[in-house]
Amino acid sequence: MTASHRPFRQSLLIARVLWGALLFSTVIYLVVLITIAPETTGPATGPHALVFAAIGITLAGTSIGLPPILYNGMLRRAGFETTDIPDEKAEAMFRDQQPTRRVFQSPDFVKSRAAQIALTPNIIGLAMAESIAICGFVLGFLGQPLNIVLMFFLAAWTLMIPRFPTARRALEPVERVYQARLD
């Protein structure tokens, strides 16, 4: 089965497995840090902590802002075909005009392809969030106190947990970009 013909549910499952793997890796980083990190030696707000905090803030902004930009651009380039069909449920403003609604010509293909396209921006956003935890991991090995280090892990988890891949999260942008329904 080629990637272009992968069913929607399978693509969603792949996205969820990758989400879980990246989230779980941050837990492993914390366990390793707590298990084998050296004693705390530096001040709570030493220069390392401030530099890594600035890096973490930049990574958080990138993790939030970049994936939607990438996803919307990739969706526009996908060139999904739409058509207007009569909308039986809508009220006509004038007697001689039938209201229409825009739909995708191949909704199953669009769903499948959209889930595949969503993988790349999603992984990039999750990787940026994971990098914040890695900053905390490094700070722990540089001797920063655990309460400083934990803030980096909490920031990473705050960015990662709400990104659990769902059908709605993959398909709403498609409908918005094309202003068409996937019914």
Mean pLDDT of 150-160: 97
Q: Both tokens of residue 171?
A: 């398909």
Specify if 97 maps to a domain. yes
Selection from 62, 69, 67 nearest residue 155 by Cα: 62
**Stated pTM of the model:** 0.84
Share of the chain above pLDDT 70, in %: 89
Task: State which residues form the domain around 36.
Answer: 3-178
Specify if 46 maps to a domain. yes
Specify if 32 maps to a domain. yes
Specify if 108 maps to a domain. yes
Question: Using CA atoms, how far apart are residues 128 and 112, in angstroms rounded to an integer?
Answer: 25
Selection from 22, 41, 7, 9 nearest residue 132 by Cα: 22
Mean pLDDT of 23-40: 90
Selection from 80, 125, 137, 88 nearest residue 104 by Cα: 80
Residue 84, phi then psi, degrees to nearest 5: -100, 130
Selection from 129, 145, 134, 126 nearest residue 30 by Cα: 134
Task: Report the domain count for the chain.
Answer: 1
Specify if 42 maps to a domain. yes
Q: How confident is the model at residue 1 (pLDDT cuts 50, 70, 90)?
A: very low
pLDDT recorded at residue 6: 75
Specify if 96 maps to a domain. yes
Selection from 49, 65, 61 nearest residue 152 by Cα: 49
Q: What is the pLDDT of residues 99-142, one digit of tens each?
A: 778 899 999 999 999 999 999 999 999 999 999 999 999 999 88
Specify if 183 maps to a domain. no
Q: How confident is the model at residue 183 (pLDDT cuts 50, 70, 90)?
A: confident
CB 85 within 8 A of CB 101: yes
Mean pLDDT of 168-175: 93
